[in-house]
Structure 1
């Protein structure tokens, strides 16, 4: 059988035998259930990798396969039940729910797990609840859970739900990046630039290097060195400084050079005027990011991380609750969180106290501006004799983003004029445009 089937097919067949055996015992066709443990041969499949990674017990693997079976084989449970109830009828002991729209088969519930793994033994049925407790790895790693039930309904009547990302991993071997949506208000960002393209203040550069060290060595520190019980998970940093000084680019480069996906959180989609909605939006975001080792970049963080107000009305009360909830989720996140703000003073002190790093991104000084000018202009552009980068750097206080805009404008104009030379007049005209955009006088 091993040469003709996959490990996933073998696991589904194993789960089918367990369910069939339980039904035979229940309906009196057999006196006892006897199903050998699953001998999951190593075919290098995603399921084998998952089992090797998580090391589930026999019961945990059975629960996982019951949840997965409903996702992969519509009618998995219906066919087995029909052997004993060919004409249909109620079967409350089995649990399960039927959804009339879309999926029409039986979907397992917590009661289904109780029936299959504990039968009618009350103590064992009650013990099944441990698999859905918040301290179980199913919940902590968001592998599977019970759907919340209406108030007054039994907890175990909730539908057994397996994380769609886990299904994707088992079926395809990978988990795709989530797309920006209402349910996931963050976009994946990346850059083709490198550290050599970014000119930073030496002190800022040194602090960024510390974050790289944390990303590289955190697993060893927490697991091998036993610091998990003493140190909170994750790393939290504040980048502050004027727009255009490299905060976003630094976040992208950290991701690029440490193999981490970077997601920029759209706070305009997170913050809601409706009571409780901001917390729900944040919950969806952090639940999705949990255990992914993503870098979460909160741009213009003042919108949600700003100083809390004195409680004058209900709106102030709920605004402060949002901040408290956000603080809780950020402290529990096991990856890197970066807050970006134009002013350090705008960020609530409660957040500042919990940050491992507060990193300034000041306006580039003259020597730094000189380096940015020198590195930014493409080699294809010839500079006229009247262009002196040191003179330009000394005269104009611009950010790296300003200089890049000037370079872009000059390059386009050079191509439009069918020339590859930029002189001082055209360069200063482009600089003047940047001043005007920012309401400054050149």
Structure 2
């Protein structure tokens, strides 16, 4: 009998998380003789690689998100629940949700990651991170309000603080945020303000390591730095943040006075990983077996940003392609279990890295083929449009980018929500 009281002889697969890993696992079980329940805190699947475009007013939320029920409407063996998992009992094969409990025969945990402030959680109040649509709306409002507040200031020093922006973290998200912020200030907004000049805005990108985009070859990191500087971004590498408050950032003894600080420096695994009773790494990711199962519990799989696993001795990165591959693999592994077959160990296929910096500026590393500039930007654009969920989303996003390219305009610049308090 299943959790609704209906008699069912089909094994129940419970999947926690509707991101790339959870959705691809669900799809991989489309024709399998199982009942699938997909649980997510939201009702939508989010294309996270373009989330910064929503935060920077380049795209609207429906352009990069689609309802999970709509995506899976033709998959008859799936039930979608908008709920949140709060506890897992792997011995009893039960998951506690905010609304009750669910049992399972197979469990797939794909609850992803959250922001990590490296032990300084108090910084979160002054430096929002970017993981969800709510985060994107919050950042968009803060960014746009900064220009509005600058327009209201008569004191040049106070106005300069509003036009100072600090992005912490030199990975892909930080690079994309900093580059886009500089473009907005220099090309989108100048004709729209009278008392302040958005072109005087200063965008600082802070990275504690020796270079931006550390996961890429050093030559591409340098090209990314040069392209950022051309956009007007001040790139500060080898600079560790020692403090953040409502008036700015401390880098050792140096203080950058800024009213808008964005966090893109680190992530930590979902706290649900601690419920599984397995060994975890420093980032909280669960150390899994080569087939992505939980040690001692072959019926539990952990995938995506929550999983710590290696291929050929190299850790699998927490990126969307890895989560997709893990999800598809686990779906196939469950099919193998049902058929009495043994699955081969999971192997991650790394097809390369890419990051956009701004208009006609990007870097791409495809297994030794390294591109930068306009060709890399075109490749980045086509790749992201291709992997979007849903035909409508692709058409809309392509049109928005073509329009923005020729006009520099961003029509998603609507401020919604309460105005933030202005510190004294």
Q: TM over 0.5, yes or no?
A: no
Greater helix share, structure number: 1
Greater strand share, structure number: 2
Normalising by structure 1, we get a TM-score of 0.26
**Structure with larger RCO (C-alpha < 8 A, sep 6+):** 2
Larger radius of gyration: 1
Normalising by structure 2, we get a TM-score of 0.26
